[in-house]
Structure 1
């Protein structure tokens, strides 16, 4: 059965890549789109966890870890979904990009980023040119795992859907540094809520693309055809639009809601993914973290996490050594982490816990090996720490 699911997901993944000419196209090297904003929520001025599944937030500036104000951006892979949707309708996407102040040539740069306000302008031009209020749903046809950069590949290799969502919440700055994602547990299931910076214009069709991309990726990862079980949107829609959305998502869609969110049952979130591969997931995590380290304004806690992962196999890294690797003093490191409501010990514990759970799910890795991969001097120390983090021993976790 597992082999069948792997084949199905693999075939779907291959089909998605094959249907997107932009993967090899001379003008558009990859896919993407943008994202607007719905119900406004005020975010912390710096250090928020950012967008999960996609898109473009509509803000002008944000404050980086060094206190400097910067223009908010999104990775360029999202803009290509709009371009492909326009081109498929016979509309000149290059002309609209130029009119929006976006350089189409930047789409060929695998690490390029676009300013969010110009992406907002592009969305408005695209909706006006097509006259299609459901344009966000159409653009989702051109979203595939590589649209999320290396984060998409890490999602594919995640242990289960909840693992994939938590991973995207942690590293979503690679997509956009302007919005926040919150994963909430409710009685009905796990809810993903997308929250945007307050005081910016709304691009409703872009929110639709976020939700459509989330559903598409979730179905691709799990093999389930009906996911999620509920969508809530702040936007309004007439009867015809509501019917089209309900048909597209195959679940109830509430318009005029207090938030932009989707709901997935607990059982579906815990279902093992057919292509789960902890080693591959970690490798792509490292690619994401390296990108974030180079990305101007990346959170210091993310940089510390990247240093810890690379240093843990040699023993518990000293705070002074990590600070030196980041070209700052210990006091500066402490202050920067405190500004992000974090601490060195907190990041160390969280990193160890997450890695421990990933390693323990792979039965080919012994508990002894996990102990030393995480920088513990002996197995009893690791066992005590793991019980403190999770309430169970490593063996109990592995056999659960």
Structure 2
């Protein structure tokens, strides 16, 4: 599944580039993104468009530090609903923990992991693929910029490390982060004093944050259940046969217990039995299109005990018999197998 970003992040980048003198419509046209895709701020857009916009902005403005500077200008609205949650947290530590937990709903190119070590607290950047430095620098600058905005103070980390080389004058990095900035390190991380976690934010509202956090928790549960359903459907299509796969076998294959699997399917308003039926339906249409397979062979492949049971199921799915479907939809008509 491709990485995504929220439309609100792309809109913020377009606003920033427009303020630098670039034409918004031409930028969208150049990267191949329709303006209508950005109407809903919470909509997920393939991250490649965000990266293309950053690259195009750097090229047109001749500015390799565009990612860093765009991050410096971050405001909570850039992160949509997540920004609204962060701005009302009680402490900086609470905001950072929510940011690490829910940031992928806004930017799934990589993730920031909040780690507590012996002498400091660290936010580390991790990604499953190679990421352009501008993306990482934007994220780091935005995290620090938000902390300063939310605190109303010019907080600074103890140090910042990037795994890539400096994209411009290192002094610019040092002035913004107000600490030592190292390049070509083993990972990308911001290190800061643990005491900063307890610092209060200006607009703390525990009731509001609890309400919004519940919304995000529900979104995460729904995303997990949808991923599980898709994985189950893919697995069923490779396992259907005689005898048909069971709920217990599916749970083991998906590394879940049976109760969790059933609960996630319920969240998608379905059941294991219905998923099995839908997988059989999908495979039945695929096999019927193969004129070299007789109806009896297909019935056996799908795990039906009798050919008549398959024919009844197929008529329930499509309204017609398997042979009638084949004659109507296949270019090359199959022989009139008995019992079709």
2:198 corresponds to 1:270: yes
The 1-side partners of 2:184 and 2:68 are apart by 18
Choose from 144, 147, 154 the match for 1:215: 144
Can you list the C-alpha shifts for 1:322-372, whole angstroms capped at 9, x where unaligned? 5575246699xxxxxxxxxxxxxxxxxxxxxxxxxxxxxxxxxxxxxxxxx
* 94-103 or 268-277, larger mean C-alpha shift: 268-277
TM-superposition CA deviations, 1:6-27 (whole Å, max 9, x none): xxxxxxxxxxxxxxxxxxxxxx
Q: Which runs of 5+ in 1 are unaligned?
A: 1-69, 301-317, 332-400
CA contact (8 A) 1:102 1:114 kept: no
Cα displacement (A) at 1:193: 0.3
Paired position in structure 2 for 1:76:
7
The change in CA–CA distance for 1:132 and 1:159 in structure 2 (over 3 A counts) is same
Instruction: For residue 248 of structure 1, give the secondary structure of its aligned residue in structure 2.
Output: helix
Q: How big is the alpha-carbon RMSD for the aligned residues of Structure 1 and Structure 2? A: 2.9
**Which residue in 2 is equivalent to 1:235?**
164
* 2:7 and 2:42 in contact (8 A); partners too: yes
Could you list the runs of 5+ residues in structure 2 that have no partner in the other structure? 229-258, 274-340
By how many angstroms is 1:75 displaced? Answer: 0.6
1:117 paired with 2:48, answer yes
Q: In structure 2, what is the equivalent of residue 252 of structure 1?
A: 180
Q: Give the alignment of 1:28-47 within 5 angstroms.
A: none
What is residue 96 of structure 1 aligned with on the other side?
27
Partner of 2:292: none
CA distance in 2, matches of 1:237, 1:108: 35
Structure 1 stretch displaced more, 209-218 or 98-107: 98-107
* Cα distance between partner residues in 2 of 1:116 and 1:71: 8
Asked if residue 287 in structure 1 is aligned to residue 218 in structure 2, the reply is no
Distance of 2:198 and 2:272 partners within structure 1: 39
User: Residue 151 of structure 1 contacts residue 285 of structure 1 at CA under 8 Å; is this kept in 2?
Assistant: no
The alpha carbon displacement at 1:242 in A equals: 0.2
TM-score, L = length of structure 2: 0.64
**What's 1:158 paired with?**
89
Distance 1:245 1:172 in 2: 23
CA offset at residue 154 of structure 1?
1.7
Distance in 1, matches of 2:226 and 2:264, equals: 15
Correspondence 1:279-318 to 2 at 5 A: 279-292=207-220
In 2 relative to 1, CA 321–229 (structure 1 residues): closer, same or farther, beyond 3 Å?
Answer: same
Alpha-carbon separation, structure 2, partners of 1:297 and 1:136: 34
1:268 and 1:164 mapped to 2: Cα distance?
11
- RCO (CA 8 Å, sep 6+): is it higher in 1 or 2? 1
Distance 1:80 1:229, change over 3 A: farther
Could you say which residue in structure 2 is the equivalent of 1:167? 98
C-alpha contact (below 8 Å) 1:181/1:192 kept by paired residues:
yes
**Alpha-carbon distance in structure 1 between the residues aligned to 2:44 and 2:135:** 17
CA 1:184–1:223: 2 relative to 1, 3 Å? same
| 8 Å CA contact 1:84, 1:139 repeated in 2 | no
**In structure 1, distance between residues paired with 2:14 and 2:265:** 44
SS in 2 for 1:184: strand
Query: Quick one: distance in 1 between partners of 2:128 and 2:141?
Result: 21
| Distance in structure 1 (CA, Å) of the matches to 2:79 and 2:100 | 12
Larger radius of gyration between Structure 1 and Structure 2:
2
d(CA) in 1 for partners of 2:16, 2:69: 7
Is the 1:73–1:176 contact (alpha carbons within 8 Å) kept by the matching residues of 2?
Answer: yes
SS at match of 1:273: coil
Name the TM-score, length of structure 1 as normaliser.
0.55
CA distance, structure 1, for counterparts of residue 224 and residue 260 of structure 2: 23
Instruction: State the shift of 1:129 in Å.
Output: 0.6
